[in-house]
Structure 1
């Protein structure tokens, strides 16, 4: 049996995966959607980037999961990528869903124009504040889906985005699938493009926006199911 551990991106909790998790369970998989420290029902918990890495490692080790597919969306690709390295032979594959990827010594905000995000964190007592409704327009989402995301979002602990990643080896050495959501830009970030040169990585494109767990949950679940069969 494949054990999926699903980790949503900035501002979101385990609830964001409800529809995808249901599809994967129907396909016979074991699924664990994880809320990172400081978010959703875990608001108020202090968190830096390594806290989030440890959240993921602890989920795998405490449940004694093996044949694990770690799935990271958006920001969470950074802690998921580090956790994938640390769980060793428990890992079957890591799937990055339109996400950032960790680069040793670099933060989640490195490699893209993020001065406004850094300023927002400084202006909001160390938190990266959620987006407004208008920010989700053009991402393949219905009004109802946008309302669900906005109502469920909580401020994101800023240190998790500004602290550096710690990797023992290049991320390209892990077996990985990268899902690029085309409404969020057709080309992956430079660090992703570099990793995709590895014969251990595959690229899958989805014709939707940055939040496919809401806009195309069934299609996303199918891709995750297929990733579980990759060598």
Structure 2
């Protein structure tokens, strides 16, 4: 028999698991929900993360004692949702020999020495709590969300009005020390097989993880271990409320060791981002200055100032990835194409290593642009910025109040609104809100038909806002194209889309 031990996240308690637990029980499983001290009516002074780890350990030990008492055996699957993964992982580190699997349910990846605070989705609140920690606020509580505030903690996609009402009415404050106390791990829990269940409406997907693993970041290669599996649920952050039957089935499959496995970076051959550009272009040499590479047309020598296109890579890209994005073939390809057409092409490295890095990356890009404009071969009054993929939110910086020298803004398979689990709600990095200030700035947007639904929704939100305010947006469609189509889809339609997009941008520069 499989015994599932379910650990709930912030502000919630065992009540959130009722429907899922009923379905698991009906399928023959044993189910236990952990009542975390200091939440859902269990009040106590001095509650911290170690308190919650002890709560989980008590349930594990109880299940083991019952199994031994009747002479039977149980496979124990420990499930942690949201914050609940932190006490779950802490307990797994101390009872690894008794667990069959740990399931990370739309949660972060706890690390030794790192408090749960680091995984909070709301970045502004995270910074505020970090300040509180410096003045010893360990005995305080974080108030539970009001009904219209749950989206700060994750996507509410799929929740009915009644479910949201009940979630709010039963919510309890979160003891601050549970978020501020660093997690202590010995490493023993690493031996327990794991499963990640990703809620795609909250901004995560298996394909995204595979992309990150494919970049070669050593820290992410553990996700490609054969003992790690993944599932997706097309819903928001609370699947036990929005799709309990589907969640129960996924948990049963996870207990059986099923799920999708990721491929390690060294097993996929040439990763897509390092595939050659799909067009044959002149081998124009690069000139490296600071964090930018310039591709300068030969005719620029002594022929006056030329317009420039600055190509901005997406991300987040883990720090230390080699080669760095400004040397990736697809980005170099766009820059060289511009140079072949008589325009200075530029690629740039910026420090978007995590979703918390958007302010820093935006500053890097602004500094790079000024470096380009200061080059004596560049016409400082004729510059275009071209954003790709995860750099899309940074377009808001330029859309809100375009400078006169910005002649065109381009975006290719961009993310044009923060994902729900990024914690950027209310931030300045929201292009759909910023486009109202774009005025007459031309925007060239390359949209792929086979985009992930979550990213496609941000593009449609942006286009709707642009239409409403009368912004000048030209859409280049690639109906059969994937995210990163220049590397993945080497078709005539892809080549034609690149030609159209480049010519549209250069037309605005040369006008």
TM-score, L = length of structure 1: 0.89
SS at match of 2:224: coil
**Residue 13, structure 1, aligned to residue 13, structure 2:** yes
- State how far apart, in whole Å, the 1-side matches of 2:12 and 2:164 are: 13
- State how far apart, in whole Å, the 1-side matches of 2:53 and 2:222 are: 20
Alignment of 1:170-185 (within 5 A): 172-185=190-203
Structure 2: give runs of 5+ residues left out of the alignment.
68-73, 213-218, 259-511
Alignment of 1:137-152 (within 5 A): 138-152=156-170
Per-residue CA distance 1:15-48 (angstroms, 9 max, x = gap): 1100000000000001001110101131235311
**Residue 90, structure 1, aligned to residue 98, structure 2:** yes
CA gap 1:68/1:128 in 2 versus in 1, 3 angstroms: same
**Residue 135, structure 1, aligned to residue 149, structure 2:** yes
- State how far apart, in whole Å, the 1-side matches of 2:35 and 2:189 are: 23
Between 1 and 2, higher relative CO (CA 8 Å, sep ≥ 6) is seen in 1
Per the alignment, residue 256 of structure 2 pairs with 229
Alignment of 1:1-231 (within 5 A): 1-64=1-64, 66-110=74-118, 113=123, 114-118=126-130, 126-136=140-150, 138-169=156-187, 172-186=190-204, 195-230=222-257
User: What's the CA shift for 1:224?
Assistant: 0.5
Task: Tell whether the 8 Å contact from 2:116 to 2:180 is kept in structure 1 after alignment.
Answer: yes
CA gap 1:195/1:43 in 2 versus in 1, 3 angstroms: farther
User: What's the CA shift for 1:92?
Assistant: 0.6
User: What's the CA shift for 1:88?
Assistant: 2.6
SS at match of 1:110: helix
- State how far apart, in whole Å, the 2-side matches of 1:75 and 1:103 are: 13
- State how far apart, in whole Å, the 2-side matches of 1:167 and 1:21 are: 29
- State how far apart, in whole Å, the 2-side matches of 1:111 and 1:194 are: 20
Task: Tell whether the 8 Å contact from 1:139 to 1:210 is kept in structure 2 after alignment.
Answer: yes
Q: Number of residues paired by the alignment?
A: 231
- State how far apart, in whole Å, the 2-side matches of 1:211 and 1:170 are: 29
CA gap 1:229/1:159 in 2 versus in 1, 3 angstroms: same
Which moves more between the two structures, 131-140 or 102-111? 131-140
CA gap 1:143/1:195 in 2 versus in 1, 3 angstroms: farther
CA gap 1:87/1:101 in 2 versus in 1, 3 angstroms: same
Structure 1: give runs of 5+ residues left out of the alignment.
none
CA gap 1:230/1:52 in 2 versus in 1, 3 angstroms: same
SS at match of 1:96: strand
Query: Between Structure 1 and Structure 2, whose CA radius of gyration is higher?
Result: 2
TM-score, L = length of structure 2: 0.42
Task: Tell whether the 8 Å contact from 2:92 to 2:189 is kept in structure 1 after alignment.
Answer: no
- State how far apart, in whole Å, the 2-side matches of 1:46 and 1:60 are: 23
- State how far apart, in whole Å, the 1-side matches of 2:16 and 2:158 are: 16
- State how far apart, in whole Å, the 1-side matches of 2:10 and 2:220 are: 22
Q: CA RMSD in A?
A: 2.6
User: What's the CA shift for 1:60?
Assistant: 1.1
- State how far apart, in whole Å, the 1-side matches of 2:5 and 2:57 are: 10
